[in-house]
Every structure is written in structure tokens, then in C-alpha cells.
Structure 1
Amino acid sequence: MTDAVPTEQEWTEQNRTEQERTERSWAEQERAERNRTEQERAEPNWTEQDWTDPACPVARTVDLVGDRWSLLIVRDAMDGAASFTDFRNRLGVARNILSDRLRKLTAHGILATSTPPGAKRHTYRLTESGQELFTVVVALRQWGERHAFAPGEDHSVLVDDGGRDVPRFRILDRSGRPVTAATSRVRKVGTPHVRKAGE
């Protein structure tokens, strides 16, 4: 004895039910995002974070934006993405993951939200601290151009307002000389600072 094959009407009804369920789920996620408490929107309390290495600025930054999606959200915000749908369409990330990352970036003061007049859904924009991640994104981009592509392989290119390639990112000291890992050091917490001549 074989199972009965659903009729066309039954298939249609089943698909409609599944679509309605999906739309309800999306609406619930968006409502939850809009209804975040004022406490979540307040200035982050950095002392209560679970840091990997509390005294290291690099480690703290990685804790905040070092997962698979957060920096890509920041990258796309710099490129004009503003709505949940914008980020979803560009990244192809699951809705629940995107909602979580947007919430965290907002809670950490990297993104801010606003609701345009007459709009039902809010949009996202980079805060000042979020905009300061531009140098991080550029450094990653330029490293990727040199080390993550085969010779001659096509890739996107960052250009200035005049359409010219952005120069290679470099860090210079007070004398204008390049600073590298070999010519710099990290002064650990608790290490006395001994000023050198000319500082």
C-alpha cells in the first residue's frame, strides 16, 4: 500500500501555510529588533564584557568584530547598506545570525539605528567609532589583494573620489619613517614608561 499523493490544492495550501509561517517568523524577529530596551541602546559597559585578553586592545577589538560576519556588516555599511534587507541581500547570511550581529554591533556602539519619518522599520548607520574601523577594513583589503588572490585574479578595488587607486596603507612615526613589527614594541600593562630623548 502506497501513501496518497497530495493533490494540487493540498500542495498549494501547504506552501501557503509554510510561507505564512516564514513571514511571521521574519516579522517577529524585526519586532524584537525594534523593541530592544533602552539599556541595550545605552553606552556599552566595557568592564562587564567577557574579554579574551582584557588588557590587549587587539584582543578586545577581535572580541567585538572578529567573527565571520561583523566586519562584513561594517564593510557593507561603509558601502551604503542601511536596512536589514540591504545587509541580508548583500551577505546572504541567515536572518537570525544577521539580527544577532546587528544587535551586538549596535549594543557596542559601532552601529546606531534611526527610523525615517513614515517608515515602519529602522535603518542602521555607522557611529563615529564604527567609521574609525575604515582603516581596519582598508588594511584587511590591501592584505587580501596581496595574499588572498592568485596572480592576475580579478577582485574589487578601492578607489578615491577621483577614481584613483587608494595608496597602500602604511604607518609612519613622527619622523615620517615606516613603523613595522620589527621597529615597534608593545608596552604591557604595569610596565614603566621610560621616555626616550625627543619624546
Structure 2
Amino acid sequence: MNKLKRRTGLIFFALMAILFLSACTNQKQGGSDGKIKVVSSVDFYGEAAKAILGNHGTVTSIIKSSSVDAEDYEPQVSDAKLVADADVVLYNGLGYDQWMSKLASANDKAKNETINVGTQVMNLKSGANPHIWYDSETMPKLAKRLTTVFSKKDPTHQKAYQRNLKTYLKKIGKSSVTARSD
């Protein structure tokens, strides 16, 4: 009788383990709810991410006010936790928000995509003027890059991201910038 109980228990345990593992492998990339989590150092990059992502994820900007100087900001433990849990991390680079660069580099590179807008999107060299949001090409280029990144992380909603890109480019007056996401 005890052998039968043990075998039944082992079989039950094995089936539960198989079900659990199959549920984990079927989960799509993104947060536990399957949605993409984006963390941005400053709000103006977060706004572009929200426009492209739509309702297929969440965007959290660490600095939400222009009265806070990103160059002097001291990150909190809660900021580090947000970055660690993010699928996509956006920051200016170019020395403007060096703290975000440090938070992002402390994380698992396989989990999150880190986008340095200054060097990776605008192709600027270290030491360039970090106030790149004044360049009229920054936000359209960032939006296109985000469309590509989100489409790779969540191919199910690729068409929605492309539509959101076209809408965003029209809104900011940059419809001449290609809306392709290659």
C-alpha cells in the first residue's frame, strides 16, 4: 500500500512538474503578463515608447519632471529594481544620465534590451552635446528603433507597432521619415 502511495505521489509530482515547465516555456517574452516593460531615464523618451507600445506594455519614466536634473540625479533602490525587471531600457547616454547606464549594465544582457539614444540611435560620439532631444531627428529615429525592438520582442503585435509609429510620426510632424521597421 505504501509503495502504491509513493508511486502515485511521484507520478503526480512528475505530471505537475511537466505542466509547470510547459507553462513557463509557452509564456511569451515580456513581463509576467506577457506585456513588454519599458523603463526610461527621462520622460521625453518614455513618451515616445508609450506612443509606439500602445496598450501592449507599460512604460515607466524614472525622471518625470523637467525640474529634476538628470545629470545630478541619484538613483534609488526602487529605480534599480525597475531597471532589473525591464525588457527595454532607454537612456540618453552621452554623460547626461550616467547613472542609468550603470543600472542597465548591472543587469542580465540577455533579458533586457538597452538603448543608448545618443550613441546607438543618433550615432554620436562620447562628449557630444547630450541635449539631443532638441535635434528634430532624435524622436523619429528613436520611434523607428523602438518599433523594431518591440516587433522582435512581441511579433504578434508588430502591425500595431507599425501603425503606432505612423501615427506618432504624423503627430510630431515627421511623416517624411520612413515608417518601415527593418
TM-score (norm 2): 0.28
Higher percent of residues as strand: 2
**Computing the radius of gyration over CA atoms, which structure comes out larger, 1 or 2?**
1
Higher percent of residues as helix: 2
Higher relative contact order (CA 8 A, sep 6+): 2
TM-score (norm 1): 0.26
